Structure 1
């Protein structure tokens, strides 16, 4: 079952999760259709239809108040928060019978609008926002409702916060990591790739799911290459200078690859210049260095032999508006 749901996360767009065929269909306040589970528990903001067989004057459409109650004719205020539709039918039938209003009451309760059980899916997912749950769901199912992870931006973990009450307001900041109590960090690789079911937690109203954006490390290749610009370092594994040159489309015919230069900034922001002979590297005569974050690789040639250093003086500002290329994961 979990494997099937994980596969849903790869489908572009939201996934509507349904229940058994005998469950009643209803809508949320935004007009979207949902499937009502018998286990759904009422809360503030929900709208219900109450009907009593052969007693039309007791038929009502009612909204659950902020205090979690409804007001019925002849019965007054009735606490309904936390009850299922079936439990409310039994409660109303008992009160009608005890009051002597109806000898053998047959009560039906239909949930017209689901509004009391919102969950918030934020961060690097395809469709972040607020979702109303109408049935018991797990983390993977809720991620599927939000269209799945954004494969480019999503980090390798997510945060899950139980806020304690379904009526909690939406988080104000949708980009910062969650703070406070009841925040749990969940490894997405273990959850989605390895299928560790103990991480697939049950979700209830008021919960917040946040997928952070993974930090992006860049390097730059300029000069006489076919595709100069900014490039993304791989998340895993090292990237070598020769591989960086290949990602930039390789050298142009006029390039002087024996006179390359690596510009690297230390932890204090000081620039260091290292001569790089790509001809020797490709022949195995010199070691192929590992590219680091914010490195600038310069390949001189007939077009850039005089203005190359001018470009280096403005890196990374000069290339910040160029196309950003992503390095594949696990590059070697």
Structure 2
């Protein structure tokens, strides 16, 4: 048990050092483009082929053969003499050798083959919580959560990587699902960072804080309205995605942040769409007791009653506080 805990602490520190290195010093700022290029080259060298990958294939002297192939959902490829071979999990070098061996049996002489990943298809994900640069980020398709966090500037010193959450749309049900991803535990137990979930376009990654939490209320056109824990530094975007993210009919350009100050109440309207595009620009922080209201493009009776019910609760609390002489 002690050994396992030590490993978790070591891996946590290692992940944070790796992910935070993008902002470690002025020297890095001057050379970050070359470092990113080197890192991407290393990722490609270690990368394993996965379903959905698109590969460029060149067989010298045989232009009749397919020049680009896509890895099918079952891990196979539609290529001559390769239909019975699963390439899922192979490296490009392994696939190159197998293709060369297979084709050499049929074309007369050794087949000279080159296989490479086609130009990386980029997807857009949202990284929130205890990261250096929360917001929307573009990453190569099939990157893992760790890669997305690194792209967002890395985890902060207060991050709890073992409670990372992945929020995405289930393509079969069209419903939002929330997946717990204990990053440190997965790496300690498997020793393989590739065991972390590959990301899809539109995924949301939330990295919580190690510190204690308080609560704010999120209402309106979100996946799961209700009370949600806050962490130090939690902002408006963090809280919205804690509540399942905006629904398809949400008007995220007019989100309301409602705050009670004594018997008074303030209301700030925030353009969340602009905030996400700004990648970590000025985002209002959320305080305990705040109400975040995400309006729908068209109000429904359910939404109206939801807001009225919560407003009535606040008014009742104010009235009782006055009666008790607390206000």
- TM bucket, shorter chain: 0.3 to 0.5
Q: Whose relative contact order is higher, 1 or 2, with alpha carbons under 8 Å and at least 6 apart?
A: 1
Length-normalised TM-score, structure 1: 0.43
TM-score, reference length from structure 2: 0.43
Larger proportion of helix: 2
* Greater radius of gyration (CA): 1
Indicate the structure with greater strand content. 1
